[in-house]
Amino acid sequence: MNEEKKIIHIVAGGPLELIPELTRFPNNIIWMGVDRGVYYLLKKGITPDYAVGDFDSVTDEEWSIIDKNIRDINKYKPEKDETDMELAMMWAVQQKPHMIKIYGATGGRLDHFMANALMLSRYQNQNPLIKIEMIDKQNSLSVYYPGHYRVENDNVKKYISFIPLTKEVVHLSLTGFKYPLINRTVEFGSSLCISNELIEQYGNFSFEKGILMMIRSTD
């Protein structure tokens, strides 16, 4: 596989009803199961290349299926410093992929979701050459650092929100959007950039200081 185009898909154990269809991807995807996400993948007919977790959220029957079908299992004790998702991210970035997509990391417990969302920001900052995205049926979440970016209208998740993760995001500009901005400073906790929409096939956004989370959503 061309290492520059290596793509890792991580499937965690969040609510199954929020995980999108996982069987319509190219064959060159590296699949990674996290805790109950390993069982989800097996039920979809996908054998993950790598599995990690303490597996405290699976039943004895589910663990038996996992243990029987997965050769490379990294099982940890529940009493550990890192969450299962962080162990997965640590492994994934070490593979130096082109992209990491995360499923099953939203919904359910809010503490898990918040930790996963902020962890995404941390690992994106540490690995700027890897595009990291968290995805469920209704939303996709990604994090950006100062620069200029282009975003495409996918005609599905039409709502685009920008949320500051730092005290302020400085000189934020949005073009090609229903509600444009020019060199606006947006403070942490502001709702100014919630539920925007693209009015062209492509839009652009840029800023000079801060950390910005972009969430694309559908109703």
Residues 105 and 207 in one domain: no
Question: What pLDDT band is residue 163 in, cutting at 50, 70 and 90?
Answer: very high
Residue 2 has pLDDT above 60, yes or no: no
167/75: higher pLDDT: 167
Query: Helix, strand or coil for residue 17?
Result: helix
Residues 179 and 123 in one domain: no
Q: What is the model's pLDDT at position 77? A: 83
The residue out of 79, 102, 137 marking a domain boundary is: 137
Residues 130 and 90 in one domain: yes
Number of domains observed in the structure of the chain: 2
Question: What pLDDT band is residue 71 in, cutting at 50, 70 and 90?
Answer: confident
- Write down the residue that tokens 């100014």 correspond to: 192
Residues 15 and 45 in one domain: yes
- pLDDT tens-digit series, residues 101-121: 999 999 888 998 999 999 999
Residues 37 and 81 in one domain: yes
The CATH number that applies at residue 155 is 2.60.120.320
Residues 91 and 17 in one domain: yes
Question: What pLDDT band is residue 126 in, cutting at 50, 70 and 90?
Answer: very high
Residue 4 has pLDDT above 70, yes or no: no
- Write down the residue that tokens 């996918």 correspond to: 154
Residues 30 and 103 in one domain: yes
Q: What is the model's pLDDT at position 79? A: 76
Structural domain including 108 reads 3-137
The Cα 123–Cα 115 span in angstroms is 12
Residues 132 and 157 in one domain: no
Q: What is the model's pLDDT at position 154? A: 85
> What's the count of helices (H) and strands (E) in the chain, helices before strands?
4, 14
Q: What is the model's pLDDT at position 203? A: 96
Residue 73 has pLDDT above 70, yes or no: yes
Residues 18 and 124 in one domain: yes
Q: What is the model's pLDDT at position 58? A: 87
Q: Which residues contact 135 (CB under 8 A, 6 or more apart)?
A: 20, 101, 102, 103, 141
Among candidate residues 16, 17, 21, the one with its CA nearest the CA of residue 36: 16
The Cα 9–Cα 165 span in angstroms is 25
CA distances from 134 to 98, 104, 143, 174, 207 (A): 15, 9, 10, 22, 22
Question: What pLDDT band is residue 1 in, cutting at 50, 70 and 90?
Answer: very low
- Mean pLDDT (the chain) is 92
The CATH number that applies at residue 108 is 3.40.50.10240
Residues 90 and 11 in one domain: yes
Residues 74 and 18 in one domain: yes
Among candidate residues 218, 216, 219, 100, the one with its CA nearest the CA of residue 152: 216
Q: What is the mean pLDDT of residues 149-156?
A: 90
The residue out of 137, 161, 192 marking a domain boundary is: 137
Q: What is the model's pLDDT at position 146? A: 96
The Cα 83–Cα 112 span in angstroms is 9
Q: What is the mean pLDDT of residues 159-184?
A: 97
The pTM for the full model equals 0.90
Q: C-alpha angle with apex 12: 52 to 129, nearest 5 degrees?
A: 85
Residues 47 and 155 in one domain: no
The residue out of 109, 137, 165 marking a domain boundary is: 137
Q: Looking at this protein, which amino acid is placed at residue 100?
A: I
